[in-house]
Every structure is written in C-alpha cells, then in structure tokens.
Structure 1
C-alpha cells in the first residue's frame, strides 16, 4: 500500500464492515418486486430450481432454528463469522448454533448435515469444503423444505438456495495479484499458499489470479507453485517453509486464507526471509497486527467476517420466512446492513475488500 490503505475499494470506516476487506465481501440479495415465479417466466427458476413464490411483505418468522456449518470448527476466521450470525439471529427472535468437523476434508461435513436434517432446522448455513461432496445430503434437506445458504465457500449452485459471497470472486482474485505486484515491482517468482485443494472459493480466486497474471504488465512475474496447507496451521507452516527452500529466488507469496497467511507470517518473521520475501493474502487485523508492526507483512486484505455472518443469518431467515426464494433480482432487508439484492445464480455479495497496513490496522478489532 502507499500512505493510506489503498483500499482498492473504499468503504466508510463506520462500516468497519470490512466489507472493506471485502476481498472477501459478500453480495446480499433482496426481495424486491421480482418473485421466483416472475423470474421463472424468463427462464430463471433460481439457484435451486424452486418454483415457489416470494412474498416480500411477509414478516420474519419468530423462533426460526438456524445452524452454521463451517469448514472446520476450530478455524478462527469461521468462528468470527458464525458467532456474528448466531448473534444476528437474536435480532429476529431466532435460535442459531454452530456445529462442524475438526478437519476440513471433503466429506467431513456430511454427517453434520444429516443430523441437522433430523433435528428439523429451518435453515442450514454452510461453508463448503467441497462443492459436490455435500450435495446429496443438502438436496435431501431441501426436499424437506430446509433452506440452504452457502457462505464464504460455495456448494454446487443446484444444491443450495443462496450463496453469500464475501466479495466478487473475480475482484478478490485479481486484487491479490495487483497488491503483490505493486510491492515487488511486478517482477520475480511468486507462489500461492491455498487452503484445501477442493475449496470452491480458493480455486475460483486462484483462477482469476492466474488470468490476471497473463496481462502484459505481469510479464516479468512468474507463478512457480500453488501449495495447499489444508487450512491447518502446522501444515501451512511446513508448506511455506518448503516453498522458500524449493524456490530460492521467490519474491512473493499470496496466501488467500486466514490460517495460511498467519502461519506463513509466523515462519517468515523468524527466518532469514524476513524483508526479502513479500507476503500478502487474506487475514484478520487482530491475527496479522503484530506481523504488520514488525515489518514481516506490509499489506494484506479482507472483508469484515462479522458482517458476512450477519448477512448470511438474515438471508437464511428471509428464505425460511418466504420473503425470498433465491431468484435473481429479489430483495431483502438485512438488519443494519440494509437492503440487499440477489444476483445471478443466487449470489449475494457482501462488498469490496479492505487493504490493511500500518496506517489503518489499529482502527479495526476482529
């Protein structure tokens, strides 16, 4: 960054909403005048293919039961998201909880979905570890009128009603390359340290990173490796160590995962690579503050995970109350975040990411 976090996108500070870090931002949907039926008449039956009609004037139901199913239960980022969603449920007199696996394997979430179906929840909110592994159980849940909201990491579109996206996936991916390129003069070998190999959000961002690198201005930047730390702290630590040993000319690393960037920063901060290899990616301010202040990391980005969970909670309540069906163009109100509109394929975007550096990191606490 330069003097001020070049917020690749600038949002009011009051929205510490890190929609700001919206790198991870989410698109919210709304119920406007368009119903699922009217959308269907133009060939859009919504992400899940439902033909139900929306009632934008329906009140949010009292006593709704929501369940957040993160990639893994001990992921600090996911905890922030889910706790915010659980708190939001109290605003509309609902009940919410977090359940999930301790590992982020492709099929680890399946048994939890089955249990939540048996418990007859009104909505399941899931950050998918694999876009397809959870589809069968989610479809069974939908057949029992349980609403499915994907957040952070999407399922296959036909397996859910809505996807609450931190930010535009393309914007996130391209912005990461721009951020790193600006710090290394668009020259040198770079690597990516991702989460799991099947993570939908990571793979989509990486696709756009690779496409961004094909532009003429990056002709002197070369992606030498995409490594996977499986959103495990120790494995991520070992992977970054391996990258730096295998590629002695490495100039920069992008780690678009909060676990990966923190583990990478911890390794680099105590190594000979500090000040020589540039690290950036997606992390939380509280997690990265010490590494920014000790000059291990100059800049990184993110959206406000609290707002992501808050938005997902209201989206699930709106679905379960019949205000929306998930069709493109529908609108709904998300409490303090205001009205949101559903985009193509049932996607709601939180907002643009915020870039953090020494000049602004102490303004945020999450």
Structure 2
C-alpha cells in the first residue's frame, strides 16, 4: 500500500506552484502532483467539458431530449441493487467495496485508488493505492470532506502498475479523465459515486455540532430518500433529523465554494456509478454508463439482489418552494419540520423522481450562487443540460 499524508485545507504545493482555481479549488489533489501542468485543461472549475469527455469515454454525449439522460447522463442501464450478504461496517450493503475487492482478487487490476481515514480522525481522508482486499475494506464508509484522491497519481506512475481502478467523485474524475492517457496505463477502470455538498473538516464539524445530538459519536451520515438526515452512531443507533429542521441560517457557509459551483452530481464520466438517491430506501442505485461499467458490474452480479428502478410523484412544487426557503435561510421549528417530513414522505417524489428533486434543488441553488458570486463564470461553468434543468424554475434575483 502507498498513501499520502492527511490532507489539510491549504496544503502547500511544490515551490512556485499554486491553485489556479483559487477559492473554487475542490482540492482534488491534481495540483499536488506534477500533473498540475495540465490543470487549466483538466480542472472542472477552470474548464467544464463534460459533454466532450462523455463523447470520448462513453461514445456519445447525453441526449438532452431524453429526461433520464438529461438528469443522469449517458447510460446503458440503471438498476436498484443491494448485496445479498452485506459487508459488515459498510455504509450501505458494500457494493463499491465488493466490486473493488473482486477486481483486485481476480487480477483485473493491480491497485485501487480509494480513501481511508487517519487513525486520529474517522472523517479525515487519507487517499491510498490499495493492493489488498483488507486495505480496500479499511476504506469503506464515505468521507464527506474534500479529499485529494488525485495526489496518488505520481505513486501510480512510480509503481509501474498498468491496470488500476479509481474510485472518486465528479470533480476528481473529470480531472482524471483529462490526464488519463498520460498515466501510461493499459486500462483504467473508474467507479464513481454521486457527490454533493462536501465540506472542509472544519465545516463538517460545524454541521455535526449544529445538527446531531452527539457529534463526537457519529460514524457516518447521509441525506436519505425519506427527507431526513440519518446519523449512525458508535453504539449502532440511528439518529434522524428532518431536512426541514436543519439550521440553514447557520449552515449556508459550510459547503465548499467548489461544491456550490458544481453541476456533476451524478458523476457523468465514471464507467459505473453506485449511489442511493435513485433507488428505494434501503437499496442502492447503479448507473452503467458504458461497456467497461458493465464489465465491472458483471463481476459481482451473482452477489446482488436487484430490481428495476421506479419513479413516483411530482417534484416541481417541492423544488420551487425550497428555492426561496434555502435562499432566505428559513429554519422550521422541529415539530413542524417533522410533520412536513412525514407528509412529504407519504406524497412526495420517490425513486428517480426523488433523484430529480435532489438534482433540481442543488442545481438551482448552485446556479444562483454562481450568478451572484462569479457572474463571469456563469456561461462557461453551467453545462447545457444543467441550464435546461434550471430553466424549469423561477429564481430570485
């Protein structure tokens, strides 16, 4: 195993180098390597190029007249799945870990880029180039903080490996795809996870302190399809906090500016994406984008229980109402938030419609953020598909 030192928010670069994206830097790690020479082309916040890269790696760009592709990107199929025998300690049932371990043990790859945490802090990301299943399993559970996954690129180069699996989020994957041919690999597999609203470690602590009943015992958390944040604690208990009860007025500043400027929630350039937001509660949502993604899924197919994706409800009214509420930092009393959560869970969007609700809510928010804070970047940073999604709604000035 090789690893990089724990990431700090303003980790120093090599002498004379800098972060060209400035405050919009997502700290993906590219600029911590000699691949910084390609940053102006590769960085998702300096050169948004999803459509062109989709065509390169998936054979075509998304069809903007097909609602599923408009929202979820180029894909061959979408399914809901869960492992028949869940991996102990995994955040969900362990599909990502299972794919990575199987690819390694079957010799499909020689190493896996994934993210463990430091011994001192379960939320402090530590990217590694894993070479054993044990090292992969030690990386299970999401780290909701900015992580320099691509800082491992020089180690891949020095290792002499020719077949590698990289696990990452959208901004990391766009940069990786741009420099992929320069890595000297015979084959790169890309397993993506959807990503939204990452924070610095300090921002995460503020969120935990503001929202959870016991911040120090939180093992992991997720914003779930039942419109509640689920916090899992060390004793195995699950704490649920309604979305509408979050102290938005105190939390609006914790999200990284890069995340507030991002329109690649669904990780458009990965071969295979594993998340949860388009699946029923308790299941995971799998998006196969190309033949390489299907090859990865086939390796664990017999380990999975599957069902077709579904879509129910109408998101539009809920999204439109959420825009000014977030914009003004509205926070409901907890009793009202719980009541609203119960009502929306019963009659609100589910399955793919919930996923569209989440995308709409974040894209409209991010569009407003860019318009107000980086108006000169609005045209270049907002992809055509995102603009079409945002145009469905009336936004405040």
> Normalising by the residue count of structure 1, what TM-score does the alignment of the two structures yield?
0.30
Identify which of structures 1 and 2 has the higher relative contact order when contacts are C-alpha pairs closer than 8 Å and 6+ apart. Answer: 1
TM norm structure 2: 0.28
